[in-house]
Amino acid sequence: MTASTGSSRYGVQPGDPPWFAVARMVERHALGIFALVFVPLDTTLFMLFVTSYLLRIVGFEAIYHRYFAHRAFKAGRVAQCMLTLFATQCGLRGPLWFAAIHRDHHKWPDTARDIHSPLTKGFFTAYIGWMRDPRHLATDLDNVADFARYPEIRWLNRYYLVPLYAGAAGLFAAGHYGLLGSQVTGTAALLWGFYVPTLLTLHAAGLIGTITHLPRFPGNYRRYRTDDASANVPLLGLLVAGAGWHNNHHRYATLARAGFAWWEIDLSYYILRLLAMLGVIDQLKRDVPEEILREGRYAA
């Protein structure tokens, strides 16, 4: 990883112990499967599950990815902290950890230095194995010095489990005290509102890290001849809040949008536009340059 120099150096922030990283994956899979098998899904729980998943995947894609990794918009310090608190509910560790690794992914995509390329590291490692690798659990703060300078963001990155499990406790309490309806128990709310959505968010991130870099996978296509194997995956564009328009993203990564045409549905971008309209964020990088549109055979 590349470190910055001078007064902006922040060093390396410790990550989860390797055994704990594995234990959290086992926890999510075990309790997610338990919910699927033993807790019947009714209309209320289904709506809770869908809403919870969408909020978590947008937090991951719009905040962790487009904000912290690519600086696709700006936010004041209070708004930044609140957005970070919200985004930690995705369950994919801290935002600086993700951004530091993802910035390296864009420096060396699909090369030996890309730690989650399915072409150089194999499918399993790229899908989920790298997340439990002891070499990749700490955060290189110098690689994200632009955000590491905020002590509250460093704290949330190191102790992301505090807001994450506080959210889980809140869901349990809401179910236990009847705030989600008399038929929803605390356990059911916890399983379908927390464990199943965070499990699917984990696998959504794995799919983005693998399928979108396999251009010959059925349904994938490339509009841009980038120096990597990135491909657009329409289904993942829908299911992963716009992240499936991955070839577009690798061609022009600093935009707040990955869908370059109206038919390329990009939920994260729609949410960001709404936040910009409300004044929560500003300087949203939304305009695709005309030469990029022509190169991709889009109508300008």
Structural domain contains residue 258: no
How many CA atoms lie less than 13 Å away from 154 in the CB half-sphere?
Answer: 16
Please name which of 46, 40, 54 lies closest in space to residue 90, comparing C-alpha atoms.
54
Instruction: Please give the Cα distance from 189 to 53 (Å, whole number).
Output: 13
* Counted domains in the chain: 1
> Per-residue pLDDT tens for 170-222?
999 999 999 999 999 999 999 999 999 999 999 999 999 999 999 999 999 99
Residue 7 is predicted with a pLDDT of 52
> Is residue 23 assigned to a domain?
yes
Strands 74-75 and 281-282: antiparallel
In a domain, 51, yes or no: yes
79 is in which domain, residue-wise?
12-222
Query: Does residue 229 lie in a domain region?
Result: no
**pLDDT, tens only, 18-32:** 999 999 999 999 999
Cα angle 201, 51, 233; round to 5: 45
Q: What is the largest CA-CA distance in the chain?
A: 58
Q: Which residue positions in the chain have pLDDT lower than 50? A: 1-6
In a domain, 261, yes or no: no
Give the pLDDT score at 1: 42
* Conformational region of residue 6, where left means phi above 0, alpha means psi within -120 to 50, and beta covers everything else: left
Residue 280 falls inside a structural domain:
no
**Length of the chain in terms of residues written:** 300
Assigned domain for 46 exists:
yes
Residue 208: its H or E element: helix 196-210
